[in-house]
Amino acid sequence: HGTHVSGIIAAQRDNNIGINGIADNVQIMMIRAVPDGDEYDKDIALAIMYAVDNGAKVINMSFGKSFSPEKKWVDEAGKYAEDHDVLLVRAAGNESNNIASVDEFPNPDCIFSNETASNVITVGAYGDPKVNDGKLIAYFSNYGKNSVNVFAPGVKIYSTIPHGYTYED
């Protein structure tokens, strides 16, 4: 997944093979915060702080879960990123839920301070309404009128994988 997302952002644009990333002169800092299986709040918090301390300007957080036992740690790391002008781009999630009423973590709502982080953009996935029963939002994407900031293409996206290219949702 990380290789696929990285390719969308930064695939070499002038080699006439594969795809063209959306930006030139991009540096990718690879951090694996989510092991095989469920991510732990401690790992997410430490990864955010590590990325901030090592010069990240934007952190891709295309993972999520419905339960966050140590959300305070992630909130504190998000605040640390906010204090250092680092943008967190998080996935809305893939359960077809309205996240205005169903929890999806990590999220920008700081439960211990009753604040909403100002440095978080939540991105949902849109698809092709011609093959999605007329719906613009992808069949799997979470949504929410005031919870999702923007929708981006999310179905059959062509990008890099180790040793090649493929389409993924």
Write the pLDDT tens digit of every residue in 5-35.
999 999 999 889 889 999 989 999 999 888 7
Distance CA 73, CA 47 (A): 11
Distance CA 162, CA 60 (A): 19
Helix (H, G, I), strand (E, B) or coil at 4: helix
Confidence of residue 139 (pLDDT cuts 50, 70, 90): very high
Tokens linked to 136: 């613009």
Instruction: Give burial (CB, 10 Å; 0-12/13-18/19+) of 163.
Output: exposed
Q: Over 90: is that where the pLDDT of 40 sits? A: yes
Tokens linked to 127: 């698809």
Distance CA 74, CA 99 (A): 18
Confidence of residue 134 (pLDDT cuts 50, 70, 90): confident
Specify the pLDDT at position 35.
Answer: 75
For the chain, percent of residues with pLDDT exceeding 90: 80
Q: Over 80: is that where the pLDDT of 38 sits? A: no
What is the pLDDT averaged over residues 79-89?
A: 98
SS3 content of the chain, % helix, strand, coil (to 5): 20, 25, 55
Q: Over 80: is that where the pLDDT of 3 sits? A: yes
Tokens linked to 108: 């920008």
Q: Over 90: is that where the pLDDT of 110 sits? A: yes
Confidence of residue 129 (pLDDT cuts 50, 70, 90): confident
Q: Over 80: is that where the pLDDT of 60 sits? A: yes
Specify the pLDDT at position 117.
Answer: 95
| Cα Rg, the chain, nearest whole Å | 16
Tokens linked to 48: 């955010």
| Contacts within 8 Å (CB) and 24+ apart, 72-77 | 72/111, 72/112, 73/41, 73/42, 73/44, 73/45, 74/41, 74/44, 74/45, 74/48, 74/105, 74/106, 75/110, 75/111, 75/112, 75/113, 75/117, 76/45, 77/44, 77/45, 77/46, 77/48, 77/49
